[in-house]
Every structure is written in structure tokens, then in C-alpha cells.
Structure 1
Amino acid sequence: MDSITIDVRTGGTSVVHDLSRDCAEFCRGRGDGLLHVFVPHATAGVAIIETGAGSDDDLLTALDDLLPRDSRWVHQHGTPGHGRDHVVPAFLAPSMTVPVLDGRMTLGTWQSVCLVDTNVDNPDRQVRLSFLAG
């Protein structure tokens, strides 16, 4: 299995960060297999979603509606409402697997592999990309 870690700076706001270019570059020339994407953080997840047409903003809005950033959370350190960031990975898993054929991810036309980070207290993230040859 081949594996690399990439660094992503997400900034001080909630973000859907497109990882597709990094993933495609990592898969290029590797043949058939599986790409595994893993975020080793307790407050971030990964998603396959359309980006650039509003769906990424809609996802963040849906998370805000479903998991409000307020004082209801038992987990209380950090920015007010930060406890909800620790619940996000239960809804957006911290890992995913994408089939790869002939060195290319088999994503649909409008699908992108994205890091979803709602934690404004930690702008520096790592993402592990692993390839398991088939």
C-alpha cells in the first residue's frame, strides 16, 4: 500500500475544501485499486459532493441547521459552540474509499472528494491518501 499525507490550511471559517486534484494526482499512473481518504481529526470529515454550484455552501448551511453552533453542547472548550464540531464526524465520516481504474478515480461527472471542516479553532489539517492496488 502506498500512502502520503497532505497538509491543508482551511482558515478561520467553516469550509468544504476540494481534494479532487490532490487525489487525482496521487492516483495517476497507479493502475486499478482503491483510494482511501482519511482525515485524522476529531472535528472534520470527508464527503463526495458537487462543488462550485452552491452545494458546498448548502452542506455547511445544513450542518448549521442540524447542529447549531450554540451553548447546548456538553463539550465546552474553544470557540462558543465548538462542541458541535466534535459531532460532525458522526454525520460526515472521517474516511472514504473510491474505486480507481487505470489510475483514475471513478467519480461521477459532478462529484468531488472534499474535506469538510467546521472547526474554526484549528485551521491546519492533514489528510492521508492511501492506495491499495487491485
Structure 2
Amino acid sequence: MDTDVLEIDTARRRIVDLTDEVRSFCRTHQDGLCNVFVPHATAGVAIIETGAGSDDDLLDTLERLLPRDDRYRHAHGAPGHGADHVLPALVSPSVTVPVQGGKPLLGTWQSVVLVDLNSDNPQRKVRLSFIGA
């Protein structure tokens, strides 16, 4: 298995497009699977369309589903931080993409994104791993 770790700062953006980094990582391989994993308890990875409003729609939906208030038992950190710990149940901490000829087999409008609503920790690591066929 080949692996690499990306260092991502999410201080100014809550959805970060990782597609170019995933493509670059896969370029040095042939056929297999690329796993994108975020080893944090308050972030996730998704495959969505970006740039056409879907990323903002995702943020709006997550804010409605996970309001920032005092309802959470996990109560340390910024107000509503407990919601950050529920996020990975809705946005998985990993996705796996098939790769053929060094190219991730994403659909025309699909992008791999990091989703991070947690303002307490903007420094994130994303692990890319490749397993050959």
C-alpha cells in the first residue's frame, strides 16, 4: 500500500476540494483503489458536485441538521461543538474511489471534498492510500 498525508487548513473554508490532490496522487499508480481518510473525530470526506451551489447546499443542510446550540452532551469548545462530533455519522470520515490507468474514476461532476465545520481545529490531515489491483 502506498500512502501520503495532506496538510489542510480549513480556517477560511469549510468545504475543501481535494480532487486535484487525489488525481495527482493516483497519477503515479495504475489500477486499484484510492482511499481518502480524515483521521479526525470532527470532520468527514464526501463526493459531491462543487461550484454549482451544491457545496453551499450541503453546508446549509448540515447547519439545519446540526444546530450550533447547547443541546449536546459533548459541551467543551466553541458553542455547539458537540455538533462537530456528530458530523462523521452523517459525512463519513473516508471514501474509496476506483482508479484505472492512474485516473480516479469519478463521474463528470464529482469532486472529493473535505467537510469541516469545526472552528476549534482548522489544521487537518487527510490520508490518501492506494491499493493496487
Q: Quickly name the TM-score band, shorter chain normalised.
A: over 0.9
Paired residue secondary structure (1:131): strand
After the TM superposition, list the runs of 4 or more consecutive aligned residues in structure 1 that deviate by more than 3 angstroms. Answer: none
The gaps in structure 1 that reach 5 residues or longer are none
**1:125 equivalent in alignment to 2:132:** no
State the secondary structure of the residue aligned to 1:87.
helix
Partner of 1:35: 34
* SS class of match (2:3): strand
Shift of 1:29: 3.0
Q: Report the counterpart of residue 114 of structure 1 in structure 2.
A: 113
Distance between the aligned counterparts of 2:49 and 2:16, measured in 1? Answer: 11
Within the alignment, does 1:9 sit opposite 2:2 as a pair?
Answer: no
Counterpart for residue 50 of structure 1: 49
Superposition deviation, residue 52 in structure 1: 0.8
1:29, 1:102 within 8 Å by CA — same for their partners in 2? no
Q: What is the correspondence of 1:78-89 to structure 2 with a 5 Å cutoff?
A: 78-89=77-88
Distance in 2 between residues matched to 1:32 and 1:109, nearest whole Å = 19
Amino acid at match of 1:123: P
The one-letter amino acid paired with 1:75 is H
Q: CA deviation at 1:88?
A: 0.1
Task: Please tell me whether the aligned partners of residues 12 and 120 of structure 1 are also in contact (alpha carbons under 8 angstroms).
Answer: no
Contact preservation (8 Å) 1:16, 1:116: yes
Q: Quick one: which amino acid aligns to residue 74 of structure 2?
A: H
Q: Check whether the contact 1:37–1:95 (CA below 8 A) recurs between aligned residues.
A: yes
Identical aligned residues as a percent: 61
Distance 1:90 1:80 in 2: 20
Partner in structure 2 of residue 74 of structure 1: 73
Aligned residues: CA RMSD: 0.8
* TM-score (ref. length: structure 2): 0.98
Looking at structure 1, the residues matched to 108 and 68 of structure 2 have their Cα atoms a distance apart, in angstroms, of 33
